[in-house]
């Protein structure tokens, strides 16, 4: 089979890594891919939001199956376009993708289908937002309604932070039109975890548990990022399977059917758990990043088989197996991230890494034969081990071997 993966980050590199192991794959393409992906697939220059160009490529190359990585092309309707022209795809249709494309839509879905979540108010202008603040106590959370690349959520400890955040989103347009509408919600206490599931509209199957680390600094301090690392299994999630199934997964699947939402792909559910009581923070309609990196390291089945089963509504028949080992992903970032960050610095030392370290490229570029930094999150170092401490020791020892100007990473992945 000819398989095309859409996207260019660490998540897509991990998906290509998983798909490359399938005996059914004869040829892998990536649009646009990255220098790391290029070692496993033929990369194609193009933008992920250029839907018509992607369709032309699929038809010119006679692609058998397209895997859509990022949320932007999903929310724009790439899956719809490809299916309308008779092409097989992994990823939810545009209506389903709205669960990530609009925080307000997602909160309304949760409320109507009795999925536990934080109390909230949806506001469409700055003046109404100021009034809505009075209905909450601090800390509170302000979320841009639209897609904001993981940077549209602000935890506000005081009124000044809340006012500054609203001004930046709604008046100064720091997040462009993503902040035209915002959701203000109560701050939830507990520990955060990620639940990734395969969904085909008829069944929902959780993947192995995984924990992301969102904030930039150790001890979960500082602003949110796209993710600084992940571990699987989640060391803080114990005995919650039945509760999550009854209170979150079953109502979610029932809600899809009641709202006539054709959902085939991955649902990534962000959760806050306090005293074994889960509340949903958000829905993402694609694999998480960097959760995927750890999850794919543990997958012991054919990824393409699973994706085809999802696409064809045969998820109940899929053979999904996982390795018993622990997986960990450590993200190396550029200086300045998650704010304005450096680009174009030479990356050295990858050839010195141990054989059991897998490197997924997240923000890199090749120029004149040299590997350069080209994003906020630059590299993902991943490994498997018998336990979390084994993984931590291996990854942190190897992280020291990689060098580029301003390299930064958290030192406490898996501990909080």
Residue 380 sits in the same domain as residue 310? no
pTM summary value = 0.95
* Residues 6 or more apart in contact with residue 21 via CB below 8 angstroms: 302, 303
Residue 179 sits in the same domain as residue 205? no
- C-alpha 329/C-alpha 327 separation (Å) is 7
Alpha carbon 384 to chain centroid, angstroms: 20
Residue 288 sits in the same domain as residue 231? yes
Residue 139 sits in the same domain as residue 152? yes
Q: Of 186, 208, 223, which residue sits at a domain end?
A: 186
The verdict on residue 224 lying in a domain is yes
The verdict on residue 415 lying in a domain is no
Q: Of 170, 186, 202, which residue sits at a domain end?
A: 186
290: preceding bond cis by omega (within 30 degrees): yes
Residue 313 sits in the same domain as residue 338? no
Which range of residues forms the domain containing residue 267? 191-317
- HSE, CB side, 13 Å, CA atoms: give it for residue 35: 19
Write out pLDDT tens, residues 336-348. Answer: 999 999 999 999 9
Per the structure block, which two tokens stand in for 238? 């114990």
Residue 126 sits in the same domain as residue 153? yes
CATH number of the domain within which 391 lies: 3.90.600.10
Are the C-beta atoms of 311 and 360 separated by less than 8 Å?
no
Spell out the per-residue pLDDT of the chain, length 416, in tens: 999 999 999 999 999 999 999 999 999 999 999 999 999 999 999 999 999 999 999 999 999 999 999 999 999 999 999 999 999 999 999 999 999 999 999 999 999 999 999 999 999 999 999 999 999 999 999 999 999 877 789 999 999 999 999 999 999 999 999 999 999 999 999 988 889 999 999 999 999 999 999 999 999 999 889 899 999 999 888 889 999 999 999 999 999 999 999 999 999 999 999 988 999 999 999 999 999 999 999 999 999 999 999 999 999 999 999 999 999 999 999 999 999 999 999 999 999 999 999 999 999 999 999 999 999 999 999 999 999 999 999 999 999 999 999 999 999 999 98
Write out pLDDT tens, residues 196-249. Answer: 999 999 999 999 999 999 999 999 999 889 899 999 999 888 889 999 999 999
- Angle ∠(226,229,234) on CA atoms, nearest 5: 115
Q: Of 186, 202, 231, which residue sits at a domain end?
A: 186
CATH number of the domain within which 22 lies: 3.40.50.20
CATH number of the domain within which 207 lies: 3.30.470.20
Are the C-beta atoms of 6 and 68 separated by less than 8 Å?
yes
Give all strands of the β-sheet with 42-43 in edge-to-edge order: 42-43, 27-32, 2-7, 65-68, 89-90
Residue 176 region by backbone torsions, left for phi larger than 0, else alpha for psi between -120 and 50, else beta: left
The verdict on residue 408 lying in a domain is no
Report which DSSP code applies to 169: I
- C-alpha 209/C-alpha 212 separation (Å) is 10
Residue 203 sits in the same domain as residue 298? yes
Q: How many domains in the chain?
A: 4
């Amino acid at each position: 089979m000819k398989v095309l993966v859409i996207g260019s980050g660490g998540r897509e590199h991990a998906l290509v890594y998983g798909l490359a192991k399938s005996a059914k794959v004869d040829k892998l393409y990536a649009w646009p891919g990255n220098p790391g992906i290029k070692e496993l697939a033929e990369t194609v220059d193009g933008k992920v939001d250029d839907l018509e160009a992607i369709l032309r490529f699929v038809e010119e190359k006679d692609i058998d199956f397209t895997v859509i990585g990022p949320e932007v092309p999903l929310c724009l309707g790439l899956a719809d376009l490809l299916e309308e022209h008779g092409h097989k795809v992994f990823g939810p249709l545009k209506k389903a993708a709205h669960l990530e494309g609009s925080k307000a839509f997602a909160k309304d879905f949760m409320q109507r289908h009795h999925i536990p979540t934080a109390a909230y108010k949806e506001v469409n202008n700055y003046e109404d937002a100021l009034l809505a603040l009075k209905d909450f106590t601090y800390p509170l959370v302000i979320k841009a309604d639209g897609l904001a690349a993981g940077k549209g959520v602000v935890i506000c400890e005081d009124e000044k932070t809340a006012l500054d955040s609203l001004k930046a989103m709604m008046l100064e347009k720091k997040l462009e039109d993503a902040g035209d509408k915002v959701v203000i919600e109560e701050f939830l206490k507990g520990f955060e975890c990620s639940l990734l599931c395969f969904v085909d509209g008829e069944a929902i199957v959780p993947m192995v548990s995984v924990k992301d680390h969102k904030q930039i600094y150790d001890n979960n301090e500082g602003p949110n990022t796209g993710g600084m690392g992940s571990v699987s299994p989640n060391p803080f999630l114990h005995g919650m399977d039945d509760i999550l199934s009854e209170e979150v997964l079953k109502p979610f699947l029932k809600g899809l059917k009641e709202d006539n939402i054709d959902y085939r792909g991955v649902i990534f559910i962000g959760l806050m758990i306090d005293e074994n009581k889960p509340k949903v923070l958000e829905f993402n309609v694609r694999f998480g990043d960097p959760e995927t990196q750890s999850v794919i390291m543990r997958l012991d089945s054919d990824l393409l088989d699973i994706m085809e089963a999802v696409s064809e509504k045969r998820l109940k028949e899929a053979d999904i197996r996982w390795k018993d080992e622990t997986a960990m992903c450590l993200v190396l970032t550029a200086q300045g991230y998650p704010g304005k960050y450096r680009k174009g610095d030479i990356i050295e030392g990858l050839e010195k890494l141990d054989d059991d370290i897998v490197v997924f490229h997240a923000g890199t570029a090749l120029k004149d034969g040299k590997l350069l930094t080209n994003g906020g999150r630059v590299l993902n170092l991943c490994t498997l081990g018998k336990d979390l401490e084994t993984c931590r020791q291996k990854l942190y020892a190897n992280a020291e071997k990689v060098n580029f100007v301003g390299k930064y990473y958290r030192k406490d992945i898996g501990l909080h």
